[in-house]
Each structure stands twice: as structure tokens, then as C-alpha cells.
Structure 1
């Protein structure tokens, strides 16, 4: 459903949200270890998310990645949009370019319900929502 890059992006941002809730910053090595990601790969992803304003970064000895109050208002859909585009929200279940309401593919009507439910979930889930569940080990970011 999501690209591998998008999966790492979502996991990374949720991890950063948890670890920086107290106003601190977190480095790439800790993020990579915390979500079982290759360090170089997650670094590129987080740099892109920082450029797009989803997360913040600060250079220097006290630097790292973090989420401020405004960033915590972003949704999972914002991450998906930056990394994978809007295909998951608008695309055909069979990957057909011509699929539409007037010219549907065999999966169109049922897939549209699933796509709309996923869209609703991603658009209503904010980045700061998982910190408490992660702290109490009710949910996990590592396999």
C-alpha cells in the first residue's frame, strides 16, 4: 500500500514526535536505531520532510530533528503526500489510468470505499497522537 520510503517516513516521524515531546532534539543514529532503518536511507527521508516543513531540523552540537507545536498538527496524510504523492487517495485499485466513475474498472466501487476509509484515517491522525501509547509500550515502531 505505502512505498518502503513512506513506511520509514511515517515510522520515523512518529518516533521523533515521541522522543521530542519534551522539546529536545534527536539525531539520525537514534532515529535509525529506534525504527530499525538504514541510517543513510532515513537521513534522506527526514531531510526531505524537513524541507517540506513536516518536521524541523537544527544543525550544530545541540541540533537534530524535532517536531514543534505546529508540526504536531500535521497528519499522516501530509507525510504520505510528500513521500508518495496522492495516488493512494485517488488511484485505481488495478493501476488503470482511465478508471473513473463513468468508466470503472472491475474493482472500482469496492476499492473506492477502501481508499476513502484509508484517506479518512490518514487525514484524521495527527503526528503527536502516538507518544503516550509508545511510552507505555501499547504500540511499537520496531519489527
Structure 2
């Protein structure tokens, strides 16, 4: 459903938010290990998230990646998906046609439209705080 970069971005942001809730910063290596992702690819994804002000980074001995307190609650999954994948997931054709809309729909257009609308709603409603607290409490996990 999401690109690999977006999957890593969501996992990384949730892990960083989880650490931030504990007033901790985390390193690229720790993030990469925790979400089971290639380090260099994770670094590129983190650059995107930092450029979009979803996460922050601080250099130095006490540095690392973190999410500001107000952002943990205010950043929604939509922000992460849009930063990495754009809005194609909401507009793209289920069958991959370049042109598919209400006027010239593919065979799955109308069925897929309701799925996309539901996904958009979930991504707009779900915050980093929601997911980070679920991971912290053990309800969900980031690594199998």
C-alpha cells in the first residue's frame, strides 16, 4: 500500500516519538536496528522527515533524533505519508492506469474510492502520539 520509504518513515517516526515521550533522543543506528531497516536508506527517509519538520535532529554528544512535545500530538500519519509519497495514494488508480477518474473510471474505480476515502480519514485522525503510546504499552510493535 505504501512505498518502502513511507513504511520506514512511519516506523521511524513512531519509534522516535516513543523515545521522545520518555524525554530521550535516538540515533540513526538505534532507529535502523529497531525498525529493521537499512541504515543508509533510513538516513534518507529521516532527512525527508526532518526537512518537513516532522522530526528534529540535534548534533553533538547529547544529540539524536526527536519529536517536539507539541508535534507528537499534532503530527498525523497523513503528514508523514504526504511528506514521503505525496498524495498519489489518494488519487492513483487501483489498477495503475495513468488516467482514471469519475468520467473515465477503471473497473475498480468506485469500489476503490471508498477505500481511499477511509484510508485518508484514518491517516488524518491518527497521531504519532496514538501509535507511540500503543507501542510503549505493548499493544502494538514495530519489529517482528
The bucket for the TM-score relative to the shorter chain is over 0.9
Offset, 1:23: 2.5
For residues 16 and 92 of structure 1, the distance between their equivalents in structure 2, rounded to whole angstroms, comes to 33
For residues 130 and 38 of structure 2, the distance between their equivalents in structure 1, rounded to whole angstroms, comes to 25
Offset, 1:87: 0.5
For residues 69 and 90 of structure 1, the distance between their equivalents in structure 2, rounded to whole angstroms, comes to 32
Secondary structure of 1:70's aligned partner: helix
Q: Structure 1: where are the runs of 5+ without partners?
A: none
**For residues 29-70 of structure 1, what are the alpha-carbon distances to aligned partners after superposition, in whole Å with 9 as ceiling and x for unaligned?**
111111111112111111111011111111111111000123
For residues 127 and 136 of structure 1, the distance between their equivalents in structure 2, rounded to whole angstroms, comes to 14
Paired position in structure 1 for 2:7: 7
Number of residues paired by the alignment?
143
Paired position in structure 2 for 1:93: 94
For residues 39 and 107 of structure 1, the distance between their equivalents in structure 2, rounded to whole angstroms, comes to 38
* Runs of 4+ that moved beyond 3 A: none
Q: In 2, are the aligned partners of 1:23 and 1:68 still within 8 Å (CA)?
A: no
Secondary structure of 1:65's aligned partner: strand
For residues 26 and 8 of structure 2, the distance between their equivalents in structure 1, rounded to whole angstroms, comes to 16
Paired position in structure 1 for 2:29: 29
Paired position in structure 2 for 1:20: 20
Paired position in structure 2 for 1:49: 49
For residues 132 and 78 of structure 1, the distance between their equivalents in structure 2, rounded to whole angstroms, comes to 18
| TM-score under structure 2 length normalisation | 0.94
Q: Structure 2: where are the runs of 5+ without partners?
A: none
Judge which range, 131-140 or 105-114, deviates more: 131-140
Offset, 1:137: 1.6
Q: Is 1:120 equivalent to 2:137 in the alignment?
A: no
- RMSD of Structure 2 on Structure 1 (CA): 1.1
